[in-house]
Structure 1
Amino acid sequence: MLKPFLTIGVLLTLGLSSAQQLEFVTTSLAPTFNDFFEPLVARFERANAGVKLKWTDLPQNAIQQKILAGIAAGNPPDAVQLNSSQILELAQQGALLPLNDLLEAATFKLYQKTALDAFSYEGKIYGLPDYASTRIVAFNTDILKKAGLDPNNPPKTIPGIIEWAKTIKDKTGIYGFAPLIANVDFLKAFQEAGLPIFDAARKKAVFNSPAHVALLQQYVELRKKDYFPEDVMRRGFTAAYELYTAGKLGIIIIGPQFMPRLEKDNNAVWKATVVAPHPIGPGQVVQASTFAYAVPKGVRDPKRAAALAAWLTSDDNQLAFSKRTGTTFPTTVKAANDPFFRSGGSSVNDLARLAAAKTMRYGRDLTVPVPNASALNKAFKDNIEAAIFGQKSAKAALDEIVKFWNANL
C-alpha cells in the first residue's frame, strides 16, 4: 500500500480544507498510463478524506504555456512534471518557486544527487526528480546481415558504431545511423566524449578547443558523404525513429521506453531488433533524460504544493511507476536499488531495460543550464547546422558560438 500524502496531520497543518482541490500535471503520459495514475489519485483521496486531487496530462509542447497561462490567470496547477530544459528555462523566467525553503533538507537527501543537480539553478532546486531513462543502442538484424555484420558482436564504442553505420550505407544503400546532434544536443556529445563546456570556474565557455573542433568535423565529414540523413538535423530523434520504424535505418540510439511503442508501430522491425548498452566514452557519462515535478509561481499554498510534489516522487510511487513502464528508472536512492532493475525476461523490451540498467550509473542529464538560454541555444543550434551543412568551417562555427556565449553568460 502506498503511503498517504505525508501524513494527514501534516496535510492539515498546511491549511488544506476539505473543500479545496490540488492539481498535478504530467507530460504525455495519458492514455497509456491511465491505469497507473487513476488508482494513484484514488489512493490519495482515500488517504485524505474530502480532498480532491485532479490529474491533467498535456503534450510536451503545450505544458509550458499551460503554466504561464495559469500564473497569469492566478490559478496555476500545484505541481507540474517537466524535463530539465523546461524547468531551467521557466526558472530563469521566474515562473517557478525554488523548493529549498519549502521542504525540509532531509527530503532532498532521498533523491540521487546527480538527478537533483539537473534541476538546480544558481544554488536553488526547482524540481523534485521523478523518472529517468538513459539511452541504449538498437540494431536491425535484417539490415546488419545484408551488410555482412554480426548481430551477436555489436560495437562497444561510438567510433565502432560509426564504422558499422558506414559499412551499412556502403553495402546496402540504407542509412546506418542517425546521430542525435540536432538543436543543442552536440553539447551532450561533447560531454560524453569527455570534452568540457566551461572552464573550471564555470564562467567561460571553452568548447572551441582543437579536440572540440575535431569531434564536430567528424560529423561534418559524415554528412558531407551522406552517411546520415539530412532530416535528422532538423527533426532529431523523431526523424531517426520514423526511419528505424520503417526499416530504413540500421542502428538507432534510443530510450528503452520506445521498445513497446516499436512493438506496436512495426512488429516485424521489433522482432528483428537486438539491443545493447550505450557505449561509455571518455567522459564516463551518458545522457539520461529526467523529468521532475516543479511548483509554479502563484500557487495558493507553496508548501502544500511542494509536499504534493514530494509525495508524487516518493520511493513507493517512483518504484511503482517504473515497474509499470518496465523501461524507466526511479531517481530516489532507495527505489533505484530495487532488485527489479537487475532482473527480467527475454523479450526485446525486457532486454532493453536490462541494457539501460547496465549504464544507468553513468547516466546524467547533460542539459547545460545557462542564463539567456533561448539566445545562447539558438546561436549554438544555428552555427552547428551551418557547419554540418558546409556553410562554415567547424572551427569558425565553434569560435562564433563561444564568442557569443561569453559575451552573454
Structure 2
Amino acid sequence: MAKTWFAAAGTALLLTGCGLGGSTPPEADTSGEVKGAITFQTIQLSPTFDDYLHGLIAAFEKAHPGTKVEWTDIPSDAAARKVSADSVTGKLPDVMDLDTATLAPLGRRELVVDMAAAAKDVKDTYVPSAWNSFAYTGNSIAALPWYLNTPVLISNQGVLKKAGLAGQPAPVNYDELIDRSKQIAAKAKVAGFQPTETGFPSSLLTIGVPLVNEDSTEAKVNTPEAQKFVAALAELYQAGGIPQDSVSAKERSEIETFSDGRTAYLEAGGSRLKIVKQNSPAVYGEVAVGKPLGDAAERTWVVAHGLAVPKKSANPATALAFAKFVTSAENQLALGKQSSVVPSTLTSLNDAYFTSGDDTDLTVAARKIAAASLHDGKTIVKPAAVDAEYAKTLWSAVQPAIIGKAEPAAALAEAETKLTKILKDRRQ
C-alpha cells in the first residue's frame, strides 16, 4: 500500500484543465433507498487486500439486500489519467478511493458530493485534520476520510554513534535536526537528511509557513521563517549535510538514500520501515523511531486517502451508504490491523492495537506514535491547493537557493509569484 501515497499524487496535475470545466452539476440526492448496483474503485490495493475488500463488499450487500458492488482496482501510476478520462466521458465510478491531490481537480470544481452536507451525521467520528484534508472549496468536504499516513522520525543509530550522538535525545524540530546534521557530516561523513520535492511543502508547514492564504487564491511561502529555513539548508548543503546529488540532480528517493546508509534521519510514515528492511536489513538493524519533528509544535503532516462520490452517480444513495460503511470505525480498525496505514476514525485509534504493545518492535512503536499524533490533535491539514503541481513548482524554485546559486528570498519570491498564478488560473 505504501506506493499509493505519492505515486498517484505525482501525476495529479494532469487533471488540471482536462475537460473538467463547465457548469457545476447540482447536488446529488443521497436520501433515497439503499438498493441497486454501484461501482467501487480503489488504488493499488489488489491483490494484497483482496480478501478484506471482498469480505467488506459481501457484508455490505448482506446488510442491504438488493445491492450489488462491483469492485475494480487500478495501479497508482494510472490513477490521475484514469480519473481525468473518466470525468470527461462521464464514467467516474460511484465510489472512488483517491488521495487528496488526485481528487483536488474534482473537488475544486464541485463535481463530487459534499460530505459536509450529505454525511454530517458522521463528521465527528473522524480525525479533524483528516476530515478537513478534503476541504477544497469553502466549507464543502469532497470525500469521507479513509486511511491515513503521518510520520515518525526514523534514525540510523549506527551513524549517530559515529558522530558522537549516541544516546542523545532525538531532534524535536528542524533547527535541532540541521544542527545535528552538521555534526554528523563533520564527524561521520554522512548526510543528516534529504529534503525532497514531495516533502518540502510539509517541511514548511511544520516550521509555520502557511503555504497559501485563507481562500487559497495566493501562495504564502516567502516568509521570514521560510527564508531562514532555505538559508540553513543551503549552509547545510555546502557542509555535506544534505546528499549532493539529491538536490542538484534528478531527485533520488529519500527512502533509497536512507536505506543505503547515506543519511542519518528520515521523517516518513511507519510503512516506510518495511521498505528499509527489504532494501537493507543491515541498516534496519540500526534503526530507531521517535516522534515526528512537528510533534512539539502540533504541526505534524498528514496524508489522507478518502472515498468520494461523483454528483453524477446514477445511484448516489447507495454509493454514500457504502462509503460510510467502508470508512466506519469497525471496518477501518480491521484494515489497520492488516496493513501499515492508520485509520481516520477516532474510535479506531483508541483501540489497544494503536495504544499499547512492545516498543522494541519498530512497527509497533511507529504505529503508536502515529496514532497518538492523530488522536491528540498534533496533525495539521496541508491545504488542498498544495498538490503535486504546487510541490513541483515550489521545489524547482528553491533548488538553486539550496545549492548556493540563488538567494533564498529571491527564490521564494519567484516561487510565490509562480504559485499564485497557478492558484488564480485554477479559478478561471
TM-score (norm 2): 0.80
Give 1:392's aligned residue: 406
Q: Tell me the CA shift for residue 129 of structure 1.
A: 0.5
1:139 to 155, 159, 179: 155
CA distance in 2, matches of 1:295, 1:134: 25
Residue 128 of structure 2 corresponds to residue 113 of structure 1: yes
* Matched residue type, 1:131: Y
Residue 43 of structure 2 corresponds to residue 27 of structure 1: yes
1:14 to 33, 36, 42: 33
Give 1:77's aligned residue: 93
Give 1:381's aligned residue: 395
Q: Which structure 2 segments of 5+ residues have no match?
A: 1-29
CA distance in 2, matches of 1:374, 1:261: 23
Deviation per residue, 1:184-210 (Å, 9 max, x gap)? x43322221123335567665443233
Residues 96 and 282 of structure 1: CA distance in aligned 2, closer, same or farther (over 3 Å): same
Residue 269 of structure 2 corresponds to residue 258 of structure 1: no
Give 2:223's aligned residue: 209
Alignment of 1:121-136 (within 5 A): 121-122=136-137, 123-136=139-152
Residues 75 and 196 of structure 1: CA distance in aligned 2, closer, same or farther (over 3 Å): closer
Q: Which structure 1 segments of 5+ residues have no match?
A: 1-10
Alignment of 1:19-98 (within 5 A): 20=37, 22-49=38-65, 51-93=67-109, 95-98=111-114
2:258 to 244, 250, 261: 244
CA distance in 2, matches of 1:286, 1:311: 28
Residue 172 of structure 2 corresponds to residue 164 of structure 1: no
Deviation per residue, 1:345-380 (Å, 9 max, x gap)? 231111221232343334435432339x77755542
CA distance in 2, matches of 1:39, 1:375: 37
The answer to whether the 8 A contact 1:139-1:151 is kept is no
2:385 to 370, 375, 379: 370
CA distance in 1, matches of 2:288, 2:71: 37
Deviation per residue, 1:269-304 (Å, 9 max, x gap)? 222211111133674211111111112353222232
* Matched residue type, 2:47: P
Residues 151 and 328 of structure 1: CA distance in aligned 2, closer, same or farther (over 3 Å): farther
Q: Tell me the CA shift for residue 139 of structure 1.
A: 1.5
Give 2:23's aligned residue: none
The answer to whether the 8 A contact 1:231-1:239 is kept is no
CA distance in 2, matches of 1:204, 1:266: 43
* Matched residue type, 1:84: T
Q: Tell me the CA shift for residue 261 of structure 1.
A: 3.4
CA distance in 2, matches of 1:221, 1:134: 28
What count of residue pairs does the alignment treat as equivalent? 390
Q: Tell me the CA shift for residue 230 of structure 1.
A: 4.2
1:337 to 339, 350, 361: 350
Residues 34 and 365 of structure 1: CA distance in aligned 2, closer, same or farther (over 3 Å): farther
SS of match in other structure, 1:23: strand
Residues 252 and 52 of structure 1: CA distance in aligned 2, closer, same or farther (over 3 Å): same
* Matched residue type, 2:166: D
Percent of aligned pairs with the same amino acid: 26
Q: Say what the alpha-carbon RMSD is for the aligned residues.
A: 3.0
Give 1:5's aligned residue: none
Give 1:175's aligned residue: 191
Residues 69 and 118 of structure 1: CA distance in aligned 2, closer, same or farther (over 3 Å): same
